[in-house]
Chains A and B, each alone.
Chain A
Amino acid sequence: MLVAESISKRFGGLTALNDVSLNVKPGSITGLIGPNGAGKTTLFAIIAGFLRPTAGRVLFEDRDVTTEPPHRRAQLGIARTFQIVQPFAGLTVVENIAVGAYLRHPRRADALARATKVARRVGLGAELEKPAASLTIAGRKRLELARALATEPKLLLLDEVLAGLNPSEIRDMAPVVRSIRDEGVTILMTEHVMQAVMSLCESVYVLSEGRLIAQGAPQAVCEDRQVVEAYLGRGAAARFRPAGAALA
């Protein structure tokens, strides 16, 4: 479905990604984890077309999309959410989602109907006419997901959609993510909430300081010595632990 081939990205002197390759299988939920600053968001931006890699290629359904702009990739079926939520603040919830729905439904009535359906799906059904700016952080995360989903993607890139949510909100969202996959959408997600990664993902890639340090089934990866060191050694444990503790 998605193949990233030896992706490198440098920002001036900083190497954010160094020779990263990954392969996302169709119909899977694949995790991308790693400490803060590992390069997860940068890799998402490269896959979705917002950044050009310094080296390497992005293949989507066997097609080289490395130089395609973001809107073309959205048309091809790649949708992303933003870790730092980017709502259209002046618009209502349903209008926000409709912008995504217009991609496959040019008529207004169809796009609005589609947007309403997607809103219900992610639990925003009661907030359709509210201004997006009035949503709580959990609501905004749902809105990110809804807008991306409304484009009817084949591949959905979720950048920490669970971060900042409380345990009960996470319990609400996890099944939604799973049901999206069950309808045939392939998902690549980054997450700091390990419990969610363990329960949702079939396969996990671990990034640290721009390098891929492990990959495989979530359970095996978590026991990997290098992975543990990457997290604890960088002091990221401080962030890692409360997230885990909150779930306990």
Chain B
Amino acid sequence: MTARDLLPIAVAVALTALVPLFVTTNTVLNFLVLVLIVALAAQGWNILGGFGGQFSFGHAAFFGTGAYATAILQTRFGVNAWAGFALGVAAGALAGWIIGYLSFRSGLRGSYFALVTLAFAEVFRILANAAEVTGGAAGMLIKLDMRPANFQFASRAVFFWVALALVAAALVLTRGIECSRFGARLVAIRENEEAAQALGVDTLRTKLAAITLSAGVTAASGCLYAQYFLFVDAQIAYGTWISVEALLAPIIGGAGTAFGPLIGALSLHALGEIAKLFAGRVPGIDLALFGCLLVAAVAFAPEGILGLARRTRPRLKPAAG
């Protein structure tokens, strides 16, 4: 990874960081923070799904584990919120490794893997909804104490910047993967697992590393969510909504690219807001729109918005020779 590889990330993040200086309304900042949280979850999904081609339908399992771990550690054990955040990420990564070990070692691929991840997320949701330590169906509140030491900020702009910093870290991580042997091997597995093995790729190990990283990043998003809303329950943490958004955003934006999840999350939520504006209070209109969008993306832009842009842009490089 060279400075040139990181330049687009630096520019994009720096420009985005300026937004709260111009936009100060709470609604807009709320919207943007939610977009960043979803983008982070989607960046996690993208490592495993976009690069590795292992489509998970259950990234809620990691998002929720991060959210619950940080909430439980703070409220039940008095752990500091930042330490809780780190431990939440670790707990999510561990959940990823375990689910990966169980499914990849038994050779699950494609739709079987997708269904198993979905099943894990659902089991976690049911357990969290029933267990005592998670506050059962009532969920749990994190005590309000607006101090940076508690990962709580009176200003939404500051929270925006913290979320942006995490998204930026995930962008750098993704770019690092893109430029490494690990990334090349992961993509090789996506394209043809048998051929990858023949070239000396330990496919189990590579997939395990991918799901662990992937789950860790998505768990960070869950922790962020818990710190922002100071509330977690099973429907939110382990709900299908986040599994769907985590996979939809990269597919719409461009799976297997560094910026795809971010662009996808922004597009999805912008469209959702516009739909709400026009269709008013028709319940579920944004979800119906997401569905149509997914169909359109799969049919017309299988490489997402970034792929579409690349294909329609006139070639900058003159053809060789």
| B-binding residues in A (CB < 8 A) | 48, 50, 69-71, 74-75, 79-80, 82, 86-91, 95, 98-100, 102-103, 106-108, 111, 147-148, 150-151
Closest residue of chain B to A112, judged by CB?
B184
Residue from B187, B194, B203 within 8 A of A91 (CB atoms): B187
Residue from A75, A82, A99 within 8 A of B188 (CB atoms): A99
- The verdict on B191 contacting chain A, using a C-beta distance below 8 Å, is yes
B179 and A108 contact, CB distance less than 8 A: yes
Q: A86-B192, A88-B188, A91-B191 are in contact. Are A71 and B201 (CB under 8 A)?
A: yes
A119 → chain B, closest Cβ, in Å? 15
Residue from A50, A98, A150 within 8 A of B197 (CB atoms): A50
Please name all residues of chain B whose beta carbon is closer than 8 Å to the beta carbon of A69 when the two chains form the complex: 197, 202
Bound state CA distance, A88 and B197, in angstroms?
12
B200 and A71 contact, CB distance less than 8 A: yes
Please name all residues of chain A whose beta carbon is closer than 8 Å to the beta carbon of B196 when the two chains form the complex: 88, 99
Bound state CA distance, A49 and B181, in angstroms?
23
A50 and B199 contact, CB distance less than 8 A: no
Contacts beyond the supplied A88-B187, A99-B184: 20 A-B pairs with Cβ under 8 Å: A50-B194, A69-B197, A70-B197, A74-B199, A74-B200, A75-B200, A79-B199, A80-B198, A86-B192, A86-B195, A87-B192, A88-B195, A90-B191, A91-B187, A95-B187, A99-B196, A102-B184, A108-B180, A108-B181, A108-B184
Interface string of B193-236 (1 = CB under 8 A from A): 01111111111000000000000000000000000000000000
B208 → chain A, closest Cβ, in Å? 14
- The verdict on B125 contacting chain A, using a C-beta distance below 8 Å, is no
Closest residue of chain B to A75, judged by CB?
B200
Closest residue of chain A to B180, judged by CB?
A108
Closest residue of chain A to B201, judged by CB?
A71
Please name all residues of chain A whose beta carbon is closer than 8 Å to the beta carbon of B198 when the two chains form the complex: 48, 50, 70, 74, 79-80, 82, 86, 148
Bound state CA distance, A74 and B199, in angstroms?
6
A111 and B200 contact, CB distance less than 8 A: no
Closest residue of chain A to B320, judged by CB?
A129
Q: A82-B195, A86-B194 are in contact. Are A103 and B200 (CB under 8 A)?
A: yes
Bound state CA distance, A96 and B249, in angstroms?
28
- The verdict on B59 contacting chain A, using a C-beta distance below 8 Å, is no
Interface SS majority for chain B: helix
Please name all residues of chain A whose beta carbon is closer than 8 Å to the beta carbon of B185 when the two chains form the complex: 99, 102
B210 → chain A, closest Cβ, in Å? 15
Closest residue of chain B to A132, judged by CB?
B191
Closest residue of chain A to B206, judged by CB?
A71
Which are the 9 A-B pairs with shortest beta-carbon distances? A74-B200, A88-B191, A103-B200, A86-B195, A70-B197, A100-B199, A99-B188, A102-B181, A71-B202
Bound state CA distance, A75 and B195, in angstroms?
14
Please name all residues of chain B whose beta carbon is closer than 8 Å to the beta carbon of A106 when the two chains form the complex: 181
Please name all residues of chain A whose beta carbon is closer than 8 Å to the beta carbon of B180 when the two chains form the complex: 108
Bound state CA distance, A18 and B249, in angstroms?
53
Please name all residues of chain A whose beta carbon is closer than 8 Å to the beta carbon of B179 when the two chains form the complex: 108
17 pairs of residues in contact across A and B, judged by CB atoms under 8 Å:
A48-B198, A70-B197, A74-B197, A82-B195, A82-B198, A86-B198, A88-B188, A89-B192, A90-B187, A91-B191, A95-B184, A99-B184, A99-B185, A99-B196, A99-B201, A148-B199, A151-B200
Bound state CA distance, A98 and B197, in angstroms?
14
Bound state CA distance, A225 and B319, in angstroms?
57
Bound state CA distance, A103 and B179, in angstroms?
16
Residue from B187, B191, B195, B199 within 8 A of A103 (CB atoms): B199
Closest residue of chain A to B191, judged by CB?
A88
Please name all residues of chain A whose beta carbon is closer than 8 Å to the beta carbon of B202 when the two chains form the complex: 69, 71
Highest count of chain B CB atoms <10 Å: which of A87, A102, A103, A151: A102
B264-316: which residues lie under 8 A (CB-CB) from chain A? none
Bound state CA distance, A50 and B194, in angstroms?
8
Bound state CA distance, A151 and B188, in angstroms?
14
Closest residue of chain B to A97, judged by CB?
B199
Closest residue of chain B to A129, judged by CB?
B320
Residue from B181, B191, B199 within 8 A of A151 (CB atoms): B199
Bound state CA distance, A150 and B179, in angstroms?
19
Bound state CA distance, A151 and B195, in angstroms?
12
Closest residue of chain A to B188, judged by CB?
A99
Interface string of B161-193 (1 = CB under 8 A from A): 000000000000000000111001101101110
Residue from A87, A88, A111, A150 within 8 A of B181 (CB atoms): A111
Residue from A48, A88, A108 within 8 A of B192 (CB atoms): A88
